[in-house]
Amino acid sequence: MFSAGDRALVKFVDFAYGGEGVGRVDNFVVFAPYTAPGDEAEVEIVEAKKRFARGRLVRVVNPSPLRV
């Protein structure tokens, strides 16, 4: 679904073990550090696999109320 270098708007829903945010785009899982559940963020894909991708936070579009 994604390739390295692609950008996507991701809605984060949970934390993964290790602290990365877990988000979804059309039911495809994206992991990215420095995100929180409830964030909607622009992410640049740095690694794409068949079932998931890892990304780099570009900017938080809509911050989560969980942020302090």
6-44 tens-digit pLDDT: 999 999 999 999 999 999 999 999 999 999 999 999 999
Q: Any idea what the CATH number is for the domain that residue 36 is in?
A: 2.40.50.140
In-domain check, residue 2 = no
pTM attached to this predicted model: 0.91
- Given a cut of 90, is residue 68 above it in pLDDT? no
Cα–Cα dist 43/4, whole Å: 11
Could you tell me if residue 48 is left (phi over 0), alpha (psi between -120 and 50 degrees) or otherwise beta? beta
Q: Which of 8, 66, 37 is nearest to 54 (CA)?
A: 8
SS3 16: coil
- Domain containing 20 equals 7-62
Q: How many domains does the chain have?
A: 1
Tell whether 13 is covered by a domain. Answer: yes
Per the document, the length of the chain is 68
On whether residue 25 sits in a domain, the answer given is yes
